[in-house]
Structure 1
């Protein structure tokens, strides 16, 4: 099992941010310090969140009743935000000396996370959507903290070779399973705890990303239809099978969870068994992520433009097919595919999926069918796999105005039943 994983790609002006993750090999004393930091930051989060909720209750009143009915009488507090809470860090260290041992940037970043979650809850985005209410953290919920500066004169983290020196923690060995490319600037470092140990995620600035391919130089294009019977089908008639990592691990996971239920909650044996269950979930997540990267690299290597459907995945995950939908993780795959395409200078395009499974890709006639019907059979004579037909419709919809042929080559002159071919993925990230 590789410790990896490079993920999360974002654009920032003239460079791109990549994340390289490496496993750490801390000593027992350093593990105790890291766990202590996480617990103190959790308590500080809960206190700061309580301050914000108290201010909100005292300064808000419902239209049809007076707040004095349900709120205590007292002086109305001043507005609480990141700046007021960050200015109180000095007082916090005086009252609770344990916080003096935590690097200041990590405490400020903890408050920044809370402020971001608070604004996401109260202020809608440009689409009118809001996030959920910030929650109080239970023991162990905060398992990461960030050093905002790395390898600068006033930084709290310094990476030299395979050694990471953290302020007030010491030097920790880093298992560098791959080298950081030359010319990449390390922006920040996040220390996080997983079921199988401690990791460090370095945020790297990459200025060598190629420009996007011009539209007039696009030579190959395809549409992809994602599904549950087949993970995806391209407009060329190639399909990728669904691996079903979670369903294959369910029997082992159920046995481990039954053993966990027999343990005394809070005991050492309970904690050990809970860690075994967490490791199983982590293994399944890594399998799925590796598979997503393989498919993404295969698509980007094969096509200059990839057209996909903008699905309402959250809505689909509330149906009776929720377990299968969450197992294939379409949303995570589409994010990875778009990130890989940007790194290669290729293009992706999301289109409206309405009607792509019903309309005929040859004559555009509506052919109503249920999910159980897996073959598209039209009166024009076209008999084709349902997912292949959807991929062709996506290709036609997304290729409008481009200097390429809009259809994958199938028309009503091909009266035979068309079958998809499965792709055997052997590529590596």
Structure 2
């Protein structure tokens, strides 16, 4: 599935109608949650049928396209099914009980309620809100895909405007020659990651670099806030400027993580990394901002995505004892967070992060079938992997 995003250009009245459609979609989603709470044994198809009842009861809900109403019901069922799955898996702590949402930022249309122009540069929304024609601004070319391949359109409101996302059914695959390389990655705060070869990538620290400007914008918002009164236009403008700056920082972080993950995937055949529970790690209030700014989870998501696109192997291993154990002899060497050098009685002196990256690679190799338990075995195991990839490519060519 590909997602192409375009910015929407229209009139102020059209933007207000999009906001009304977003509020209506949120209303239907919350109503479906309430229907599930008040009735037992409610399933996905029951919520879809309940959308028709809502359209008959509320005139503004009838304006929303029928498939857009079903998409809102699907969102409600996604929250419910996630809660059921967490209960079955007996996850410790909160299970994610479905909640009512106060604010919505998007509305989805499936295969009806919209129409593309012949030149694929304009989008016309044909539901009851009568939004009309909007101009698509972007660099993607939709002529490469059939209209039947576009399975869903999502209208998104952000701080800097309105966007249209096209969800296209397409299996993206890029074939490359094997690089005969494999690495383990140990992420951190001093350096974003250190690989098993000793290479390090600096942490960009986007939020830290923008902190001075963010504080200045936040002070402006606070000064113009009037408690218990209607807010002025200056307050609204200051708030929007602050939101746009936050959006800029988040886009910088996402773009950097995406490009770095693609570079790592292209130059290696096997990538091992830690299976970190970032949601639990940010509970440490002293490190929460730095961990969130590092975007470890976002980097992992892009690694797994590009691994599927390029046909590379990505392995997530448990992080326990990767920093403490020696990568040469396997002994446990206890360290504090301030100890940055690994010194073992066997004579190995190595950077703490490099030692952890080698241990991560060793665990990954044992997961995918290798029997090496030492650093030397890990560094030599790429020969076995390259032979396997060559044989697989030969069989693939012969089958064609």
TM-score by length of 1: 0.77
Q: 1:199 — aligned with what?
A: 163
Q: 2:377 — aligned with what?
A: 406
- Indicate if the aligned counterparts of 1:236 and 1:408 stay in contact, CA closer than 8 A: no
Q: 1:327 aligns with which of 275, 278, 293?
A: 293
Q: 1:372 — aligned with what?
A: 338
2:126 is the alignment partner of 1:167: yes
Offset at residue 244 of structure 1 (A) = 0.8
- Indicate if the aligned counterparts of 2:4 and 2:140 stay in contact, CA closer than 8 A: no
Instruction: Call closer, same or farther: CA 1:301–1:403 in 2, change over 3 Å.
Output: farther
- Indicate if the aligned counterparts of 1:189 and 1:200 stay in contact, CA closer than 8 A: yes
Q: 2:114 — aligned with what?
A: 156
Per-residue Cα deviation, 1:349-375 (whole angstroms, up to 9, x for no partner): 111222111111122222111010111
1:65-84 pair list within 5 angstroms: 80-84=42-46
2:16 is the alignment partner of 1:50: no
Per-residue Cα deviation, 1:259-300 (whole angstroms, up to 9, x for no partner): 222222652333222222211211111111111012112211
- Indicate if the aligned counterparts of 1:212 and 1:346 stay in contact, CA closer than 8 A: no
Provide the rounded CA distance (Å) in 1 between the counterparts of 2:77 and 2:44: 6
2:259 is the alignment partner of 1:294: yes
Q: 1:136 aligns with which of 82, 100, 103?
A: 100
- Indicate if the aligned counterparts of 1:228 and 1:328 stay in contact, CA closer than 8 A: yes
What SS does structure 2 have at the residue aligned with 1:357? Answer: coil
Offset at residue 218 of structure 1 (A) = 6.9
What SS does structure 2 have at the residue aligned with 1:294? Answer: helix
Q: 1:31 — aligned with what?
A: 15
After the TM superposition, which segments of 4 or more aligned residues of structure 1 sit over 6 Å from their partners? none
Number of matched residues?
362
Q: 1:257 — aligned with what?
A: 218
Q: 1:187 — aligned with what?
A: 151
Per-residue Cα deviation, 1:233-272 (whole angstroms, up to 9, x for no partner): 1111111101111122222212222222222265233322
Provide the rounded CA distance (Å) in 1 between the counterparts of 2:291 and 2:90: 26
Q: 1:282 — aligned with what?
A: 247
- Indicate if the aligned counterparts of 1:147 and 1:157 stay in contact, CA closer than 8 A: no
Per-residue Cα deviation, 1:164-193 (whole angstroms, up to 9, x for no partner): 122232221111223247357322111110
Instruction: Call closer, same or farther: CA 1:155–1:42 in 2, change over 3 Å.
Output: closer
What SS does structure 1 have at the residue aligned with 2:89? Answer: coil
What SS does structure 1 have at the residue aligned with 2:377? Answer: coil
Q: 2:198 — aligned with what?
A: 237
Provide the rounded CA distance (Å) in 2 between the counterparts of 1:147 and 1:157: 11
Q: 2:350 — aligned with what?
A: 384
1:344-359 pair list within 5 angstroms: 344-359=310-325
Q: 1:121 — aligned with what?
A: 83
CA RMSD in angstroms comes to 2.6
**Which structure: greater helix fraction?**
2
Offset at residue 131 of structure 1 (A) = 4.1
User: 98-107 vs 258-267, which deviates more?
Assistant: 258-267
Instruction: Call closer, same or farther: CA 1:255–1:212 in 2, change over 3 Å.
Output: same
